[in-house]
Chains A and B, each alone.
Chain A
Amino acid sequence: MQAGRLKAAVALAAAAALAVGASGCAKSERDDAGGGAKTGGTFVFAGAGDPKNFDPIFNDDGESFRPIRQMYDTLIQNKPGTADLQGALAESWEHDADGKVWTFKLRKGVKFHDGTPFNAAAVCFNFDRWFNMKGAAAQSQMIYYSDVFGGFAKNEAEGVGQPVYNKCEAKDDGTAVVTMNQYKGAFPGAFALTALSIASPEALKKYDADAVKQNGDSFEYSAFANEHPVGTGPFSFGGWDKAKGEITLNRNPDYWGDKAKVDKLVIKVIKDENTRKQELRAGTVQGIDFPAPADRKALSGEGFQVLDRPAFNILYLGFNQKNPKLKDLRVRQAIAYALNRQQLVQTKGPGGTKVADEFMPDTVLGYASDVQKYDYNPEKAKQLLKDAGVQNLTLNFYYPTDVSRPYMPNPQEIFTVLANDLQAVGIKVNGVARPWNGGYKDDVQQFGKQDLHILGWTGDYNDPGNFVGTFFGRGKVEFGDQAMTEMFDAITKADGTVDEAGKKAAWEQVNRDIAAKWLPAVPIWHAPPAIVVTKDVKGLVASPLTDERFNTVSVG
């Protein structure tokens, strides 16, 4: 008996030795294979998180949109490298004088990956599907749809708004006519939203795409969303290995546009920023997203291509007017003058960052070149505070931790610099740090606990309403539910102006008034997020909307 146990112990030790030995073997075998490990027809890109699923309409995040963009097309697309529009599945589009009836002339001869034809009926099928979506689970997840189209055929909750969509008619195979109940400034830009990609009606039906089931406190998506996404894009779905964290997409040989140069596109999920960089250096991936600002120089020094996306975002310092002292415009202006934003841009901004004077980039329609500017002027700040009769002002300044956003790669550092500027003009700052998902957004956007906070936004499409309207179009807890009705009305009016010239003028005036009269927040900067690829990657066009399509990419 005892000898038996001893043998067991020996066996265990032997097994351990074997395992170590076997590992050694494995290594040397790999070395031999290492020479051939370089990808020929495969482009491997490291994503920073798991996608949610591949049904465009239920998604709103970049990690899901990256693979979705390769598999699907929208009616209208953003021109590569810009936020301007160009035809995609629709070759052209026009609207009537009221901006309510939109006619799309569709591209001919396009096929979905499952071989079914793309036509006007397919377009209408998608629009009707979105509009008629039932179930709280499904509706609450259609974030972009609700943003753009307001309500549904049957709303699952009160207060989600009147439906903007009315109907879609297929006049003939190549003409789809979409009728709206009202004009919205979001159109036509919103037709380019990845969430509004056109999917194969056959596949949607076959794989039960609308069945979003709720189970306890979460949602389960359909086989379409997880295993059988079918669009018209340059790549078709190959597989999603969740254990390996890899999404494989295959070249679509029948693509209507520029056919993909690589045979395979692999998106590898690597959550740790440092590890993404190491994989890039080890040559196991050929591209990574959002490098830390501090790494950019080193990476380009090592021969990697650091491609700056044109900045299509805004970082701002928000005022909570629940604090009566901040209700006084002079105090808000004093704070604006106190901030040395130029220096912040130079010391903490990623390369190419620009001081912001408005709450949208200058490429967006309605940007006014003559708004009141708040150049760094601490003396003026002190004077304004004095004029307002404010002494010993103490403000709670909230900032997030555990987060890096394209417009705010380093929140804590940004806070520190801004807080110092404020203290220099005699404003006492109480810094309050909160984890991004662990209370920051709750405290700021739901409870409004802060006096000051930093937050921002990356635009979804080229429209001032998507920037200025989102922030200041109505009272928000974030800004103290201010009753700035004059501002709300002006924004609503600008957003509802159909005629292009009138729209431009209306938004320009809104931007001028925001800077001079209302100042609900201070715009800080526009920061270009980067994308990094290896030397041998060619043809990647960085997009301000992170709307990169990898069909133009070749490796080696």
Chain B
Amino acid sequence: MLRVIVRRLLQLAVTLIALSALIFIWLRNLPGGPIEALLGERATPERRALLTKALGYDQPILVQYGKFMQRVLTGDFGNSIRTGDPVAEVIGRAFPATIELALVAMIIAVGLGVPLGYLAARHRGRLLDNLSIAGTLLGISIPIFFLGYLLKDVFTQNIHWFPPSGRLSTGVDNTEVTGFFVLDGLLTREFDATADALWHLILPAFTLATIPLAVIVRITRASVLDVLNEDYVRTAEAKGLRHRVIRGRHILRNALLPVVTTIGLQTGALLSGAVLTEKVYNWGGLGTLITDSISGGRDYPVLQALILLAALVFVVVNLLVDLSYAFIDPRVRVR
């Protein structure tokens, strides 16, 4: 097991270095750039030249990359071009927002998806099953953007149940400790802030959860159906084991393996879905940061760090999924 982890970490390092070079060169070959964004309509050739020189964009790309790597190796990703804040600080601010959103979305997706999928399988062919199949089809096919605006329109403009955007109401005081607003409120005993943060979370989290929820319902349903036909389930039933035991130990346990894989894969989807959800709900997370950094003037330092971070998260999540296989299915451990 340890060897697997070490090997995977080495792979990760190589991947990240190769990726960093690719991103660096790719970004600088895109049309447009920070110079134009920084100077706006008041760009004169002289000022453009001054800024180009100041930022070092007049040097060969390999020299630029070398300098970049030199800084990165000391843990310095530079400062955001747009805001001037250190990149670590910019990402550090956005990261908890996205994780908080994704986590709640995942809790909704798993918390609702697994029981729903199980129930659908157990009631195969009946109303509940048909409803869930229709529902998941809708959930998968509806564009996040559209759903987000639709939910907002209904729940914030027609019936004022939820706030239209943001993570916290204006005027609600919160002390930031971790950046996870729900948690911060609990830690600092500002329960008002926790409640307000949760209130803001519901619509975006639900929007973000729709696709993984639909996928998890479907996978769970299919997987439970497979297991239901297995001999050991029939044997267990024939033995007259208690229903709770059959459901937990025999059906769900065995049916969960593909579900866990799906959850892992959906984590990646969640992070990309966050780009749209965050835009719709003005959620100051990584998704917003990515779009801002691209459209708001090619914020190279932030983009570079973000893409590397995304790669890192993706690899780590996959590693965790693989490890959890071993946890759930003893056969993997033996191999």
Contacts and interface: CB of A to CB of B under 8 A. Distances in A.
Contact of B107 (A15, A278, A445): A15
A448 B264 CA distance: 49
A282 B42 contact: no
A281 B157 contact: yes
Nearest to A157: B50
B82 A220 contact: no
A37 to B, nearest CB: 7
B122 interface: no
Contacts of A391: none
A271 interface: yes
Given A19-B111, A52-B82, A216-B67, A243 B50 contact: no
Interface string B10-46: 0000000000000000000011111011111111011
Contact of B50 (A16, A60, A156, A285): A156
Given A2-B253, A39-B170, A218-B34, 9 more contacts: A2-B249, A16-B111, A215-B78, A219-B84, A243-B97, A244-B167, A435-B31, A441-B36, A457-B41
B179 interface: yes
B135 interface: no
Given A143-B42, A160-B46, A19 B107 contact: yes
B232 interface: no
B284 A243 contact: yes
Given A434-B31, A438-B31, A220 B86 contact: yes
A390 interface: no
A53 B84 contact: yes
B49 to A, nearest CB: 7
**Which of A30, A136, A137 has most B Cβ within 10 Å?**
A30
A352 interface: no
Interface string B97-111: 100000010011011
A61 interface: yes
B71 interface: yes
A160 B83 CA distance: 25
Contacts of B256: 9
B68 interface: yes
Interface string A34-74: 10010100101000011011000000110000000000000
A214 interface: yes
Q: 9 tightest A-B contacts by CB?
A: A16-B111, A439-B31, A216-B78, A136-B54, A26-B198, A157-B50, A278-B164, A218-B79, A438-B32
A217 B40 CA distance: 17
B265 to A, nearest CB: 18
A52 B296 CA distance: 12
Contacts of A136: 50, 53-54
Contact of A60 (B42, B48, B86): B42
Contacts of B295: 402, 435, 437-438
Contacts of A143: 39-40, 42, 47
Interface residues of A, number: 88
Interface string A131-165: 00000110111011011000000001101110000
5 contacts: A29-B199, A33-B192, A242-B83, A243-B284, A282-B160
B48 A446 contact: yes
Given A26-B199, A136-B50, A441-B32, A245 B79 contact: no
A2 B248 CA distance: 10
Interface stretch (B126-134, B274-282, B314-322): B274-282
Contacts of A244: 166-168, 284
Given A143-B47, A218-B80, A61 B40 contact: yes
A388 interface: no
Contacts of A285: 170
Contacts of A30: 195-196, 199
- A-side interface mostly: helix
B166 A245 contact: yes
Contacts of A435: 31-32, 295
A414 B86 CA distance: 40
A220 B84 contact: yes
Contacts of B68: 216
Contact of A16 (B85, B110, B161, B167): B110
A501 interface: no
Contact of B54 (A5, A26, A137, A266): A137
A152 to B, nearest CB: 11
A157 B48 contact: no
Contacts of A13: 111, 114-115
**Which of B38, B162, B168 has most A Cβ within 10 Å?**
B38
Interface stretch (B1-9, B222-230, B235-243, B297-305): B297-305
B261 interface: no
Interface of A: 2, 5-6, 9, 12-13, 15-17, 19-20, 22-23, 25-27, 29-31, 33-34, 37, 39, 42, 44, 49-50, 52-53, 60-61, 136-137, 139-141, 143-144, 146-147, 156-157, 159-161, 214-221, 225-226, 242-246, 266, 268, 270-272, 274-275, 278-279, 281-282, 284-285, 402, 434-435, 437-443, 445-446, 455, 457, 477
Contacts of B81: 217-219
A220 B249 CA distance: 58
A396 to B, nearest CB: 16
A147 B198 contact: no
Contacts of A17: 111
Nearest to B161: A27
Contact of B202 (A27, A226, A270): A27
B47 A220 contact: no
A243 B114 contact: no
Given A220-B79, A282-B156, A275 B164 contact: yes
Given A160-B50, A218-B79, A437-B295, A23 B202 contact: yes
B162 A27 contact: yes
Interface in B143-169: 149, 152-153, 156-157, 160-169
Contacts of A242: 83, 85, 93, 284
Contact of B32 (A25, A156, A217, A442): A442
Contacts of B45: 477
Nearest to A264: B171
A246 B111 CA distance: 34
Contacts of B42: 60, 143-144, 147
A477 B36 CA distance: 15
Interface string B239-271: 000000000110011001000000000000000
